Amino acid sequence: MRALWLLLGLALAGCDMALPGGEGRYTPAMTPEQAARSFAQVVSAVEPQAEAECRRQAPQLNCDYRIVVDGRRAPPNAFQSVDSAGRPTITFTISLIASVDNADELAFIMSHEAAHHILTHLDRQRRNSAAGAEVFGELATLSGGSAKDVARAQELGAAVGARAYSKEFELEADELGTVIAFRAGYNPLIGAGFFARIPDPGNAFLGTHPPNADRLQVVYQTSARLGLVPGAPSG
């Protein structure tokens, strides 16, 4: 873990990051050393809670999370993937770690990505993509399209299918991510403040992410059920 702190400290030095979407410049509230230390602490706190929730909700999955840092000059991003052995991997770019205001934001983002795995969103997305490719390919065949036309239709169908429920997946991950972050000792209401600084995708047709307001509402409602909102009934 000490080596991770040193790596992050070196890689983050002097960062002045652009926000996701490339809109404007943002100077992070934490120094590079603080960001590196917070990231290591967040990993130590969130990972066991994510694994416990994974074993509880999806015991058939590999729940041994691997958290990695992409040290290349890449835009701020975090994403979940699964390696060839089925192990869930959460990747953070250095620029995202540098762009957060506090540890709560890091914890919320990490918990959100962990939730994607628990909720099997990647598998569901692949099935939706395959179904879209099949339907569009059949339509192109029935309309007398050439082999090239069918192939193009399948590509389009796969893209449409993959995006069909992506907004719902993001909101589901926000809800479960709120719970995981809370159980790890962080405040998801503060963590979701990250949405206030990223471009709002709105409600674009076949967009991949829901409006920021919808995401904040899910976090608020879930936090209220957890007793984090004064005066709100907990459930």
pLDDT the model gives residue 143: 67
**Residue 197: per-residue pLDDT:** 76
CB within 8 Å of 217: residues ≥ 6 apart: none
The pLDDT of residue 180 is 97
The stretches in the chain having pLDDT less than 50 are 1-26, 161-162, 164-165, 203-207
Do residues 185 and 45 lie in contact, with contact meaning Cβ atoms separated by under 8 Å? yes
Q: How distant, in Å, are the alpha carbons of 33, 58, 198, 205 from that of 180?
A: 25, 14, 22, 30
Q: Name the residue among 189, 173, 172, 171 with its Cα closest to residue 226.
A: 189
Residue 157 to residue 122: CA distance in whole angstroms: 17
What's the confidence (pLDDT) of residue 195?
80
Residue carrying the six token digits 């490339």: 22
**What's the pLDDT at 103?**
93
For the chain, what's the residue count? 235
pLDDT by residue (tens digit) across 157-214?
555 544 544 788 889 999 999 999 999 999 999 999 888 777 665 544 434 557 888 8
